[in-house]
């Protein structure tokens, strides 16, 4: 994926001067982690977030840095609406814990449920989805590419009526095969944000919905540009961002020309502590706002982790400069 230059690449010293690395404890395991690390830094337009997951290589992580630089140096694009509806996000928890999670999403009419968790069964997924469906109007599931084609077909049929199934399999060809075999709409996430060509999934007719995440795709303006070239509905979603990253996601969603379906931007409730006042849905929606933080009141990571992130920053800045 070519990383856009939404704003000039600042020198390392300029970003490092204000950079802080935080370790945000999570209420429950999500995406196989219990603590979320991100780097935050300040620019002339506000705070930016560099939060590529620690296992990602530098080439992929550089896009996340580009998104943070855009937020800190350019700020958000112009909004065309005042708020955006968001879905509840339900981790791969036991069905009897669903009420506790949904209580953090007042007014939500849509929920995305994580499925295909390692160590769990399809029966666990069915029980979790049924518990959510009994309380929420519209249910989506997200398998994060963990199923085979045959497993996906069996699971999607067993899970009943769904608004869509997100990334049931890992590859575009597999998505297309599942889409041809089931009536449930298929959404693509990783097949867009981790692809060398984000539009390949569209050309392959492998998805009905595009899930776009600001940080992995290089920033707010790149997502808006990409959304304008995608002829299917677009959902803006979080990459398990802190409040700084969520601010960029909400700003993108309210700048889309067409109002999107409920977006996956209500993930702030997954953190025990955030870097600022979290984005809490009101009547199922979030409104855009800039986030300011107090660097002295943050749950900082250890010095060894700060050093690790600073070295990563240096390497990723070099990639952006080369681009």
Per annotation, catalytic residue among 112, 114, 146, 200: 114
- For the CA atoms of 255, 259, 260, 265, the dihedral, rounded to the nearest 10 degrees, stands at 50
32 is in an annotated binding site: no
Residue 113 bridge partners (DSSP): 90, 141
Best CA proximity match to 20, nearest among 50, 65, 46, 45: 50
Query: How large is the angle between the packed helices 303-322 and 58-73, nearest 10 degrees?
Result: 90
293 three-class SS = coil
- The distance from CA 180 to its chain's CA centroid, rounded to whole angstroms, is 26
DSSP H helices in 80-121: 98-102
**Is 114 annotated in the active site?**
yes
189 is in an annotated binding site: yes
Check: CB of residue 188 under 8 Å from CB of residue 170: no
- CA 110 vs CA 90, 105, 285, 287, 314: distances in Å: 11, 10, 11, 17, 40
137 is in an annotated binding site: no
**Is 200 annotated in the active site?**
no
- For the CA atoms of 32, 165, 86, 144, the dihedral, rounded to the nearest 10 degrees, stands at 20
Per annotation, catalytic residue among 112, 146, 200, 213: 213
User: Which residues define the annotated binding site?
Assistant: 142, 166, 189
Question: Which residues have a catalytic role annotated?
Answer: 114, 213
User: Which residues define the annotated binding site for Mg(2+)?
Assistant: 142, 166, 189
């Amino acid at each position: 994926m070519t990383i856009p230059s939404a704003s000039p690449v600042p020198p390392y010293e300029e970003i490092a001067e204000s950079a802080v690395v935080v370790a945000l404890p999570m209420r429950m395991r999500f995406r196989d982690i219990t603590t979320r690390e991100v780097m935050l830094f300040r620019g002339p337009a506000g705070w930016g977030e560099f939060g590529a997951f620690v296992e990602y290589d530098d080439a992929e992580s550089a896009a996340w840095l580009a998104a943070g630089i855009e937020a800190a140096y350019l700020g958000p694009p112009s909004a065309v609406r005042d708020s955006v509806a968001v879905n509840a996000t339900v981790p791969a928890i036991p069905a009897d814990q669903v009420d506790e999670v949904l209580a953090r999403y007042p007014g939500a009419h849509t929920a995305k449920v994580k499925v295909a968790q390692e160590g769990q069964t399809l029966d666990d997924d069915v029980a979790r989805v049924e518990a959510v469906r009994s309380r929420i109007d519209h249910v989506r599931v997200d398998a994060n590419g963990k199923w085979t084609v045959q497993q996906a077909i069996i699971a999607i049929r067993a899970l009943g009526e769904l608004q869509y199934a997100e990334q049931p399999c890992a590859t575009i060809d597999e998505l297309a095969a599942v889409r041809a075999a089931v009536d449930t709409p298929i959404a693509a996430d990783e097949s867009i944000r981790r692809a060398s060509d984000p539009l390949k999934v569209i050309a392959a007719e492998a998805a009905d919905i595009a899930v776009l995440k600001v940080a992995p795709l290089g920033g707010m303006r790149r997502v808006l540009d990409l959304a304008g070239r995608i002829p299917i509905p677009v959902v803006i979603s979080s990459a398990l961002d802190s409040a700084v990253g969520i601010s960029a996601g909400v700003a993108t969603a309210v700048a889309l020309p067409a109002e999107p379906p409920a977006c996956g931007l209500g993930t702030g409730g997954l953190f025990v502590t955030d870097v600022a006042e979290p984005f809490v849905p009101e009547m199922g929606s979030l409104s855009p706002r800039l986030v300011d933080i107090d660097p002295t009141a943050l749950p900082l990571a250890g010095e060894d982790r700060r050093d690790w992130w600073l070295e990563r920053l240096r390497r990723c800045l070099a990639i952006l400069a080369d681009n």
